[in-house]
Amino acid sequence: MTNTTAPVRFLRAAERPATAWRNGGGVTREVAGEPAAGGPDDFRWRVSLADVATAGPFSAFPGVDRVITVVEGPGMALTVDGTEHLVDVPFRPFAFSGDAATDCRLLGGPLVDFNVMTRRGHATADLVLTERPGPIVVPADATVLLVCLSGTATLDGAALARYDAALLTTPATHTLHPEGTTAALTFRSPTRG
C-alpha cells in the first residue's frame, strides 16, 4: 500500500502558541490532540512540548497515562508517588501515571520535554524514536503523528524543521528521512468486546 498523495497535515512549530502554566513554572505548546478542540480534561490523546523553567509539582491528570522525554537541557528528577526517577538522558522516554503525585526537580537548569498523554480506555500510544530512514505505515485503525525532535527530517520530500510535526490519518505508506531524532507515535482506540 504505497500512497504518497494521501493527506498529510503539517503542524509547524512556529505557529504554536505558548500557554503559561498555572504555577508559573513553564509554558506548554500543544503539538496535536484528539479531539483537536479538546480542553485539558476532555482529550483522548494529547502531545505537547514544554519549556520547564523551575522545579515544582506536576498537575494531576486522573485516568491518563503519560510518557515524558527530555529533548533539550540537563534533565530532571521526577518523584512519582514518593519514588525518585532520574529523567536525564535525552530521547529516553519515561512512562508514568497521571494519577500519581509527581514532583519535578531540575538537574542543572531549564529544559524542554516532549509529552504524550493518553486517556485510559479511550486511546493507546506506541512511541518509537527513530534516527533511520524508512517507511511509515498508517494502518486503517490508527492515527500517526511524527514530530521532529532534533535536527531536521523529510516526509515524502516535504521538510520538517525541529519541532515541526506531521499528522497522518489516512491509511498509506509514507517515507521518512530523519537527520536527527524523530518521534513516531501511533494512536489507536482500544478494541471494545
Interval 74-107: pLDDT, tens: 999 999 999 999 999 999 999 999 999 999 999 9
42 domain-assigned:
yes
Domain boundary among 119, 150, 176: 119
Domain match, 127 and 184 both: yes
Q: What is the mean pLDDT of residues 2-30?
A: 82
Taking only the tens place, the pLDDT of each residue in 49-59 is 999 999 999 88
In this structure, what CATH number is given to the domain that contains residue 39? Answer: 2.60.120.10
Rounded CA-CA distance 144/186 in Å is 5
Contact 190/130 with Cβ under 8 angstroms?
no
Q: What is the pLDDT of residues 151-160, one digit of tens each?
A: 999 999 999 9
**Domain shared by 34 and 93, yes or no:** yes
Q: Which of these three, 119, 135, 158, is where a domain ends? A: 119
Query: What is the total count of domains within the chain?
Result: 2
- In angstroms, the CA 135 to CA 178 distance is 11
| Confidence label for 36 from pLDDT (cuts 50, 70 and 90) | confident
Same domain, residue pair 115 and 129: no
- Percentage, residues of the chain above pLDDT 90: 84
Within-domain flag for 3: no
Concatenate the DSSP letters of all residues of 62-95 into one string.
TTEEEEEEEEESS-EEEEETTEEEEE-STT--EE
CA 187, CA 11: separation in Å to the nearest integer? 17
pTM of the model: 0.92
Rounded CA gap, 143 and 35, in Å? 12
- Per-residue pLDDT reduced to its tens digit, 126-144: 999 999 999 999 999 999 9
Chain mean position to CA 183: 8
What's the confidence (pLDDT) of residue 59? 86
Q: Tell me whether residue 2 is in a domain.
A: no
36/17: higher pLDDT: 17
Cell of 52: 520547564
| pLDDT of the residue at 24 | 75
Question: Both 99 and 150 in a single domain?
Answer: no
Give yes or no: residues 74 and 111 share one domain. yes
Please give the sequence-ordered ranges of beta strands (E in DSSP) within the chain, or none if there are none. Answer: 8-11, 19-20, 26-34, 45-52, 56-57, 64-72, 76-80, 83-87, 94-97, 102-106, 111-119, 124-130, 134-138, 142-148, 152-155, 158-160, 165-168, 172-179, 182-188
Residue 193, in any domain of the structure? no
Domain span at residue 91 reads: 15-119
Predicted confidence (pLDDT) per residue in 158-169, tens digit: 999 999 999 999
Do 34 and 95 reside in the same domain of the chain?
Answer: yes
Model pLDDT for residues 110-122, shown as the tens digit of each residue: 999 999 999 999 9
Are residues 132 and 60 part of one domain?
A: no
Shared domain check, 99 and 134:
no
| Residue at 1 is within a domain | no
Region for residue 156 given its phi and psi (left: phi exceeds 0; alpha: psi -120 to 50; beta: otherwise): left
Short-list 114, 152, 53, 118, CA closest to 126:
118
Residue 178 domain-assigned? yes
